[in-house]
């Protein structure tokens, strides 16, 4: 699990492929849950077919969870997490 500091920009990534292992397009949504269980949906960008990114800037320490979900021709989902370290400064 990756570790970041409060204030870092964390880039989340999804690579979407079909059953033939070919990069494909879909309608992708990203949900991010912070340590207090608050859920946000950052904007997802698509720089190339099958590649999706969402960015989040953590404001509190703890474990953060995220989920990408795709609908359309390829229906898929993927989840992950990352840790944010507490700051030693006020």
Percent of the chain exceeding pLDDT 90 equals: 87
Please determine, for residue 90, whether its predicted confidence score (pLDDT) is greater than 80: no
Question: What are the structural domains of the chain?
Answer: 2-85 (2.60.40.1930)
Please state whether beta strands 76-85 and 27-33 pair in parallel, antiparallel, or not at all (unpaired): unpaired
Give residue-wise pLDDT tens across range 29-66. 999 999 999 999 999 999 999 999 999 999 999 999 99
64-79 burial, b if ≥16 CB within 10 A, otherwise e? bebbbbbeeebebeee
């Amino acid at each position: 699990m990756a570790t970041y500091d409060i204030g870092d920009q964390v880039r989340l990534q999804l690579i979407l492929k079909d059953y033939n292992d070919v990069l494909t397009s879909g309608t992708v949504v990203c949900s991010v849950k912070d340590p207090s269980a608050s859920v946000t949906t950052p904007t997802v960008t698509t720089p190339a077919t099958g590649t999706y990114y969402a960015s989040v800037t953590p404001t509190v320490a703890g474990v953060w969870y995220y989920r990408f979900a795709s609908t359309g021709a390829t229906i898929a989902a993927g989840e992950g997490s990352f840790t944010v370290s507490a700051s030693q400064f006020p």
